[in-house]
Chain A
Amino acid sequence: EIYSLCAVGSSSNMADDKDILRDVWFGRIPTCFTLNLDEGTEREAEPYYLLLPRVSYLPLVTDKVKKHFLKVMRTDDVEEMWFEYEGTPLKWHYPIGVLFDLHASNTVLPWSITVHFKNFPDHDLLHCSSNSVIEAHFMSSIKEADALKHKSQVVNDMQKKDHKQLWMGLQNDKFDQFWAMNRKLMEYPTEEGGFRYIPFRIYQTMSDRPFIQKLFRPISSEGSTHTLGDLLKEMYPDALTNDVAFSEKNQK
C-alpha cells in the first residue's frame, strides 16, 4: 500500500503502475496460526498455515483458522477470537500488512500468530462481531481518504452498489473488481496535477500516539511534485536518519 504518491511520467518500456498495483494487491504473508496453550482444548491442536493477503483484515481471512481450531475446542470455552504476536494483541482494524511490518518485520517466516478464544483484551482491541463491522471500518477509511483527496466528491457520487463493489472486491480478493471502482477514487483532473491532499498514516509502535496523520499536499508551493521522501522529512524525519521500524500507509 505504498504506491502512487505521485504520478510522474516515465519511459515506456518499464514497469507500469499497473504492475505495481498488482504486486501490492497480491502481496501475501505466510502465517502459522497456533492455539494459545491456556485455551481449554479437548485434544492438541495442530498449527494452521495460511497465506494472508497483506491488504485485507484479519477477521476477514481467518474463517478457516477459526473452523480449524473450533474442532478441538470445548464449546463453552469459546468467546470472540483474537490474535496475538509475541505478547502484543493484533488490532484487526489495521491491515494485515501493516500489522506484520509494524510488529514482525524482522521475524523468521512464517509469521507465527497465536490464536485466543478467551480473555479478550478490551482496552487494546475493538470488538468485531461480524464482517459488517469490518465493512463499516473499511468504508469509513475510504471516505476519509476521499475527503482528503477530492473533498469527498468522488465517494459521494458513487452509488451504494459501487461501494459494495469495492468492499466485495476486497472481501473476495478480486483485484479487477476492486480496481474497476477504486480507479475512480484515484483519479484527478490533469490540470490540478494531483489530489488535494495525500491521504497517509505513519504507524508507530514506540509512541503513545498510534499514528501520525496530517495534511500534506502532493505539489509544493513552488509547483514541484512532492516525493515520499519529502513527506517523511516533514512528518517523521527520524525515519530518514535512524533505522527505525515504521510502517507507512497510503490509504486507498
Chain B
Amino acid sequence: MSPLGHVTSSAMPVSLLWAVDVYGRVYSLSTVGQQWEQCRDAQMEFKRATAAQQCCWGIACDNNIYLNVHASDLPIRYKEETYENQRWNPVDGFSERLLPSDRWQWSDVTGLQHQPLDGFRLPSGSWEWEGDWYIDENFEGEPTETGGWSYAIDFPAFYTKDKKWNSCVRRRRWLRYRRYKAMDTWAKIPSQQTSLPDPFSDISCGGWEVSEEPRGRLSLWAVSLQGKVWFREGICHHNPEGSLWEEVALPGEVVQISCGPGDLVWAALWEGQLIVREGIGRDCPKGTSWAAVDSPSPEVGVIHLAVGVDVVWAVTKDNKVWFRRGVNSHNPCGSGWISMVGEMMMINVGLNDQVWAIGSEDRGIYFRQGVTASELSGKTWKAINVPRDGDRSHSSASASSLQSAGCFFSGEVRAQSVMSDADLDEKGSADRDSGCVPSTSPETFVHPLTDPTPDQPADPPKPRIPKVTSDSFISELVSDREPGKTSKELGPAAPAVLEEEEVSLGEAEIQAPCAGATLSPGPSGGASGLQWSNVDLEEAQSAQARAGAAAADSADTCSLSSVATYTLALEDPYGADEHPLWAWVSGGGCSVDSHSQLNWFNSSANTLSLIQSVQSMSLSVTPAQSAAWKRQIFEQLNERTKREIDNFKHYEQAIEQSVWVKKGTMQWWRDWKPHKWIDVHFALEQFSGPEGDKDGILFIYYNYYEEKKYLHAFINEVTILVPVLNDSKHTFAVYTPERTKQRWPIRLAAATELEMHDWLALLSVACCDSRGIQGPPSKQAIWSVTCKGDIFVSEPTPALEATPYPTPCDQMFWRQVGGHLRSVECNSAGIVWGIGYDHTAWVYTGGYGGGFFQGLASSTDNIYTQTDVKSVYIYENQRWNPVTGYTNRGLPTDRYMWSDASGLHECTKANTKPPAPQWTWVSDWGIDYSVSGGTDKEGWQYAADFPASYHGHKTLKDFVRRRRWARKCKLNTTGPWQEVPPIPLSDVTILLCPPGSGMAAVPLWAISNKGDVLCRLGVTALTPAGSSWLHVGTDQPFKSISIGASSQVWAIARDGSAFYRGSVSPQSPAGDCWYHIPSPAKQKLKQVSVGRTSVYAVDENGNLWYRQGVTPSYPQGSSWEHISNNVRRVSVGPLDQVWIIADKVQGSHSLSCGTVCHRLGVQPMEPKGQSWDYGIGGGWDHITVRGNSMEPPILRLPSLTDPSLLSFCSPLSVRNTEVNGSTVDS
C-alpha cells in the first residue's frame, strides 16, 4: 500500500504548482509535497513560467522560450513516413525509372511532395531517431507477402495488395520513428524564423479543453517587449515544441496576456484597458477578433490579469484585485467587475478555476480557498507556507545556482539603488543577447514613467524587492503611486473601501462583504470585523497571519532601506529570517479543487523544525504498527471470549433472540399491466435461527382493488440488489433466481436518495448475513459492472464450472462494492484493476463497501474517495425545407427537435438532468465532434431521413441533419479503489496466475485511451498498483488487449485487426514484435480475451469468435470459428471457462439486454462448449471471470475407473492432448 494513502484520505494524482522567485529561480511544489523543490536543471534565471499538466513553458533571462516536458511512461514519438514509387516497364519489370510525368521516386502519400529518405531532419536538438528506416509490410491492416508493395494501374489510383495483369505502378511505405528526448529538462525552443520579434516578455499557455484533437493540443500565446502578440502554431502531443510563431493583429500594445484552459483569452494593454479574444473554437484556436473591456476603475488601469474556464481575475495598478462576473464561453467579456479583498502583485488561474496570487506586500504565494463551480470567486486568501528545499541545507547545487545568480546580477548591481538595479537587470539581459536582440527599446520602460506621481519621493521607505521581470518592474513603479497608498491608509478607517463590492449594476451574487476588517491590521480591524456575522474563523486567522507577516515586513523595512544591508541580503538569500519572495506563479498544471487536502498551509513560514517534528510524529504510527495494536485488541478480545464464554455456552442467554422488523413505505413497479408505480408498505423481518444463523423475509404490502395483498421474497433467495438508473426516482431492483428467469425483478423506489441507500445497505447486510458472507471479496471472485457503473462481485463455488452439472448462473449471489467504474479486470492472485468512465485507472485496495455502504457494510480501511466523469449526450435535429434551408421546424411525424439518440424522447438542454441525483454538472453543453461517421465543421451529420445512417458532409439527397451535444457530469463517491496516475486507460489485462503460484512480478498490460500499448512493471500481489509503465511500440493505435496463462498476449487494433505479441516471457515481459492476425472475413474485431489456452474475440457486429488451431508451437492459431451472435463482451478465465455479456436474452416476462451468460459444456477436449446458461441482467456491461481458478470437483463416475480415461477429468494433465487434438482439424 502506498504511504500516500495514509497522508491523504483520497488518492490524489500528484501534480505541480510552478513558481519563479524574484531571483529568477524556478521552483515547483507538489500537491502532496510540503516543500518547494528548486528546478536545478534550469541553467539560467527565468522571468516567467506557465504550466500545463504535461509541461511547463518559461521565458528565461536570455529572452528565449524554454519548454520543460514532464517525463511520462508514454514516450513522445512521431512516425515519419515516405513512399517509394516504382513503374513497370517491359525491360526491367518494376523499377525506379518513372515516366517524366510521374511523381517523385520518393514522395509523400499524395505524390506531390518530394521526400527522399535522407531529406528528413530532426526538428530540433530535443529529438532523436529511434532506429533506421524500415518498410511497412502491412497494407490496410493486412500483411502483404510482397515486401510491402501495393499495386495500381497508374498514379494516382486505387491501390491493392495483389499484383494484377494491369498493375503498372507500385509503391510501398517506409517508416521511421523519432522520439522527443528532452524530458524533465528545460529545452530551448529554436527560433526558426529569422524575422522573430523583439524579445518575449510574457507567455501563457492553455486552450487544452478547446479540442481533444489532435491529442495534447495546447495554445501558447506570447507577448513581445514591443507589445505585439504571437500565437504558437501546431503544439500537440507529438509536437510539443510547436511549429512556428504567428503574429496576431492588435488594437494596441499588449503588456500581458492570459489564456485559460478553454476558449478564454484576455490581454491587458499598456494603457490599462483590456481586450478579449473572440471567435476561438476548435477550428480556430487562435480566434478571430478582439473585443474591448474597460478597466474596473477609470483612473487605475489593469496591469495584470488571469483567466480560467469561466472566470477572469484582474489586478489594477494599485494592486487591488478584481473578479469579473458572468464570464463564460458564450459571453467571454463577462458582465461586471467585483472588487475583492487583498492586494496582489499578480494572479494566476489554474485548473478547476482555482486561483493563485502573489501578495504585493510580502511577495508570498496565496491560494484562494473555497473556489467551487457555484462560488467561483472563492472565500479567502490563504498563504502557502512551505519551506524551500534549499532553506535548511546549503546543498552544493543550490550554492552553484546562487553563484550563477550573483554572476548574472553582476558586480555593479550592488552599488546601485534598487530601482536602477532592476533597470540594469533588463539591460544586462539585453546585452547578453545582443546577437538576437538588436535593440531593447528603452522607451517602453520609460513609458509608465511619463506619468509619475509628483509626490513619489515623499513616500516613506518601503520594502524593496529586486525585480527580474520587466513588467513587474512596471508594476513596482505604478504601485508606488498615490492611489494605492491612500487606499491602504484609508483601509482601517473606512473598511468599506476594501469590501467586496459590485461596481457594475446587478444583484450581488457574491457573498456578503465579509472581510473588510481582515486587511486592516491593528485593533480597529477586530472591532469593525464584529459587525459582520459571517466573518469566518479562517479568514480571521489568515488575517492575523498576514498582520504578522506585515509586522515582520515593516521590521525588515528599516534594515532594507539601506542599500548596503540589502546587498548583504542578496548575498545571503537563505538567511534564517528570509521568507521566499516570489515573482510569478502558475497553477495551470496543478490539479486541485476546493476539496483537495493539501499540506501546504499547516506550517507557518519559519517553523521548519515544527514541520519536521510533525512529519516524524505522524510517521511514528506506521500502518504496520497500527495493524499490530489492532490485532492485539482482537486477540485480547478472543482470549476474553474464550475465558468468559466458551466454557459457559450451556448457560442461558439473558436476552432471548426474537424477530426484528424494519418497516417503511416505498413505491413498487407493479407486476400487472398497465405497469405503474404504486405506493406500498415495505417490511424486512429478520430472525436468527437456532444455530445463530440469520435469515429474513421481505414483504411488500399493496392494495389490489381495495383488497390488501402482499408479495414476499426470502432474503436467502435474493441474488442481487441493483440500483437502477433513473433521473427522477431513487429506484432499485431485487432479483431472485425466479425473477432472473422471468427477466422481471421486483422494482422499488424510495422517497429519497438517503432512504434508498439506507434500505440497500440494510438489505445487503441481511442478504450477506443469510449467506454467511462477510469481509472483502475473495481472490477468486467474479467481478461485473452495470451500465450505471456500479460494481458487483460474486463468490464462485467449485461447482460453478462443474461438468456436466454446474451451478445455474441465475443462482449466483452478487453483492455491490463501492465505487464507479466502466470495467474491471482481475486475476486469481487478488490483483484487481478498474477503469473509470473518464478512463482513470484504479487499483483495488482490498477493502469492501464504500459508497452508500457505510458502518457495518463497509470496511473501515482501504476506502478512498473516487470520482468519475462522464458525458450526457443529446441530439439537435433539423429538417431541410426549400424556403429557409435547415431549421428546427420538423414535419409533424418527425422526432423531437431536441432528443435522445433514438429520437423518441425529448431532451432539451434545459430539461436534461444528470443521470442520477449523485451526479453534478461540471461543464456546459458543447457540440460533440467525435461522433462516429464524422461531422462537418459545425458538428452536423446529414442523412436522407430520420432515422438513418448519418455522414459528416451534406449531399443533395440529405434532408435532415443532427448534431450531438455533450455535457460532462461528475460523481464523487467512495470505494476500495486508489487511483493509478497519470495515464488514462481504455483497457487492461492481468496475467492469469495458476492457483497458489507465488509469482514475484505479475505481467499487466494496458491500452491507453489514446491507443498506446503499455506494460506495467512492479505489479505483485502486495503492490498491485505496480511502479511504472513500459511503452510497447505499435504502428497504429490499439483498443483491446488480453494476456493468457502462459503469457500469450493478444491485442486488437483500432482498425479491427488482431495482433499476437511474440516472445513474451518473464524474462522479456514486453516481448519482441507483433504478429498480424487477419480478422474474420469482413468483420472488425473489438475485444479479445485469452484464457489458459483458449482465445476468444468479439467483433463490432456482436459475433463471438473462437480461435482455432492454437498450439504451443503455433500460438497464433489458424482461423476464427463463429460461436455465437448478440455478444457484447467476452471473458475467458484460467480454467478456459467462457463468460459473456449477451444482448437480447428473452425471459418469460421480458427481454433483457446486457445479460451475464455462462458457456456450458466447456471441457478440455471441447473448449468451445455447447450452449449458454443465462444469469443476471439486463443492464450489464462487463464481467471478468479471470480470478476464478477453482477447479471443479472431479466426478468419479463408476464407468471411468480406467486411469487413462480419468485423466480427461483433470484439465491440467490433458493440456497437451487437448492442444494437439484441436490442431488436427485445422
Q: Which residues of A are at the interface with B, using a C-beta cutoff of 8 A?
A: 2-3, 7-21, 23-24, 26-30, 49-53, 56, 61-62, 64, 109-110, 171-174, 176-177, 179-180, 182-184, 186-187, 190-191, 220, 222-225, 227
User: Which one, B647, B775, B854, contacts A183 given CB within 8 A?
Assistant: B854
A-B contact count (CB 8 A): 160
Cβ of B643 < 8 Å from any Cβ of A?
yes
Q: Are B652 and A50 in contact (CB under 8 A)?
A: yes
Q: Are A27 and B626 in contact (CB under 8 A)?
A: no
Cβ of B450 < 8 Å from any Cβ of A?
no
Q: Are A179 and B861 in contact (CB under 8 A)?
A: no
Cβ of B630 < 8 Å from any Cβ of A?
yes
Q: Are A27 and B776 in contact (CB under 8 A)?
A: no
Hey, which chain A residues are within 8 Å of B758, CB to CB? 180
Hey, which chain B residues are within 8 Å of A184, CB to CB? 855
Q: Are B654 and A224 in contact (CB under 8 A)?
A: no
Chain A to chain B contacts (Cβ below 8 Å), 24 pairs? A2-B633, A9-B862, A11-B1, A11-B624, A13-B846, A14-B631, A16-B775, A16-B861, A17-B859, A23-B637, A23-B638, A23-B641, A27-B637, A28-B653, A30-B645, A62-B654, A110-B648, A110-B651, A176-B762, A179-B855, A183-B855, A183-B856, A190-B9, A225-B621
Q: Which residues of B are at the interface with A, using a C-beta cutoff of 8 A?
A: 1, 5-6, 9, 597, 602, 610, 613-614, 617-618, 620-621, 623-624, 626-627, 629-631, 633-634, 637-638, 640-641, 643-645, 647-648, 651-655, 657-658, 660, 662, 686, 758, 761-762, 765, 769, 774-776, 845-847, 854-856, 859-862
Instruction: Supply 16 further A-B pairs (C-beta < 8 A) apart from A18-B774, A173-B653.
Output: A2-B633, A7-B860, A9-B623, A10-B623, A10-B627, A10-B861, A29-B644, A50-B654, A51-B654, A64-B652, A109-B644, A180-B758, A180-B762, A180-B855, A183-B855, A223-B614
- Closest residue of chain A to B694 (Cβ to Cβ) is A176
How many angstroms from the CA of A187 to the CA of B863 in the assembled complex? 14
Q: Are B655 and A53 in contact (CB under 8 A)?
A: yes
Hey, which chain A residues are within 8 Å of B652, CB to CB? 49-51, 64
Hey, which chain B residues are within 8 Å of A61, CB to CB? 654-655
Hey, which chain B residues are within 8 Å of A21, CB to CB? 856
Q: Are B617 and A223 in contact (CB under 8 A)?
A: yes
Hey, which chain B residues are within 8 Å of A222, CB to CB? 610, 613-614, 617
- Closest residue of chain B to A225 (Cβ to Cβ) is B621
With known contacts A30-B648, A51-B653, A10–B630 Cβ distance under 8 A: yes
User: Which one, B629, B854, B861, contacts A9 given CB within 8 A?
Assistant: B861
Q: Are B621 and A30 in contact (CB under 8 A)?
A: no
- Distance from B618 Cβ to chain A, minimum over Cβ atoms (Å): 5
- Closest residue of chain B to A17 (Cβ to Cβ) is B860
Hey, which chain A residues are within 8 Å of B617, CB to CB? 220, 222-224
- Distance from A109 Cβ to chain B, minimum over Cβ atoms (Å): 7
- Closest residue of chain B to A184 (Cβ to Cβ) is B855
Hey, which chain A residues are within 8 Å of B846, CB to CB? 11-13
- Closest residue of chain A to B3 (Cβ to Cβ) is A9
Hey, which chain B residues are within 8 Å of A11, CB to CB? 1, 623-624, 627, 846, 861
Hey, which chain B residues are within 8 Å of A26, CB to CB? 641
Residue of A10, A16, A177 with highest tally of chain B CB at under 10 A: A10
How many angstroms from the CA of A173 to the CA of B654 in the assembled complex? 9
- Closest residue of chain B to A29 (Cβ to Cβ) is B644
How many angstroms from the CA of A175 to the CA of B1142 in the assembled complex? 42
Q: Are A177 and B655 in contact (CB under 8 A)?
A: no
How many angstroms from the CA of A176 to the CA of B758 in the assembled complex? 13
Hey, which chain A residues are within 8 Å of B855, CB to CB? 179-180, 182-184, 186
Hey, which chain B residues are within 8 Å of A174, CB to CB? 660
Q: Are A27 and B854 in contact (CB under 8 A)?
A: no
How many angstroms from the CA of A2 to the CA of B6 in the assembled complex? 24
How many angstroms from the CA of A178 to the CA of B655 in the assembled complex? 15
- Distance from B99 Cβ to chain A, minimum over Cβ atoms (Å): 72
Hey, which chain A residues are within 8 Å of B614, CB to CB? 222-224
User: Which one, B633, B651, B845, contacts A50 given CB within 8 A?
Assistant: B651
How many angstroms from the CA of A2 to the CA of B645 in the assembled complex? 18
How many angstroms from the CA of A190 to the CA of B613 in the assembled complex? 23
- Distance from B861 Cβ to chain A, minimum over Cβ atoms (Å): 5
- Distance from B850 Cβ to chain A, minimum over Cβ atoms (Å): 13
User: Which one, A8, A13, A64, contacts B621 given CB within 8 A?
Assistant: A8
Q: Are A15 and B621 in contact (CB under 8 A)?
A: no
How many angstroms from the CA of A200 to the CA of B689 in the assembled complex? 36
With known contacts A7-B860, A9-B623, A20-B634, A173–B597 Cβ distance under 8 A: no
Q: Are B657 and A109 in contact (CB under 8 A)?
A: no
- Distance from B1054 Cβ to chain A, minimum over Cβ atoms (Å): 37
Hey, which chain B residues are within 8 Å of A3, CB to CB? 633
Q: Are A173 and B657 in contact (CB under 8 A)?
A: yes
User: Which one, A14, A64, A225, contacts B630 given CB within 8 A?
Assistant: A14
Q: Are B618 and A51 in contact (CB under 8 A)?
A: no
Q: Are A177 and B621 in contact (CB under 8 A)?
A: no
With known contacts A14-B627, A180-B855, A28–B644 Cβ distance under 8 A: yes
With known contacts A10-B623, A20-B634, A191-B597, A172–B660 Cβ distance under 8 A: yes
- Closest residue of chain B to A100 (Cβ to Cβ) is B644
- Closest residue of chain B to A179 (Cβ to Cβ) is B856
- Distance from A210 Cβ to chain B, minimum over Cβ atoms (Å): 24
With known contacts A12-B846, A19-B634, A176–B654 Cβ distance under 8 A: no
Hey, which chain A residues are within 8 Å of B5, CB to CB? 9
How many angstroms from the CA of A64 to the CA of B655 in the assembled complex? 9
How many angstroms from the CA of A44 to the CA of B892 in the assembled complex? 96
How many angstroms from the CA of A10 to the CA of B863 in the assembled complex? 11
Closest 3 CB pairs of A and B: A12-B846, A183-B855, A30-B648
- Closest residue of chain A to B846 (Cβ to Cβ) is A12
Residue of A14, A53, A56, A180 with highest tally of chain B CB at under 10 A: A180
Hey, which chain A residues are within 8 Å of B631, CB to CB? 14-15
How many angstroms from the CA of A51 to the CA of B621 in the assembled complex? 38
How many angstroms from the CA of A209 to the CA of B1154 in the assembled complex? 68
Q: Are B775 and A24 in contact (CB under 8 A)?
A: no
Hey, which chain A residues are within 8 Å of B627, CB to CB? 10-11, 14
Hey, which chain B residues are within 8 Å of A28, CB to CB? 644-645, 648, 653
Hey, which chain A residues are within 8 Å of B847, CB to CB? 12
- Closest residue of chain A to B653 (Cβ to Cβ) is A51
Hey, which chain A residues are within 8 Å of B626, CB to CB? 8-10
Hey, which chain A residues are within 8 Å of B602, CB to CB? 223
How many angstroms from the CA of A112 to the CA of B662 in the assembled complex? 38
Q: Are A224 and B621 in contact (CB under 8 A)?
A: yes
Q: Are B854 and A187 in contact (CB under 8 A)?
A: yes
With known contacts A12-B845, A180-B762, A53–B654 Cβ distance under 8 A: yes
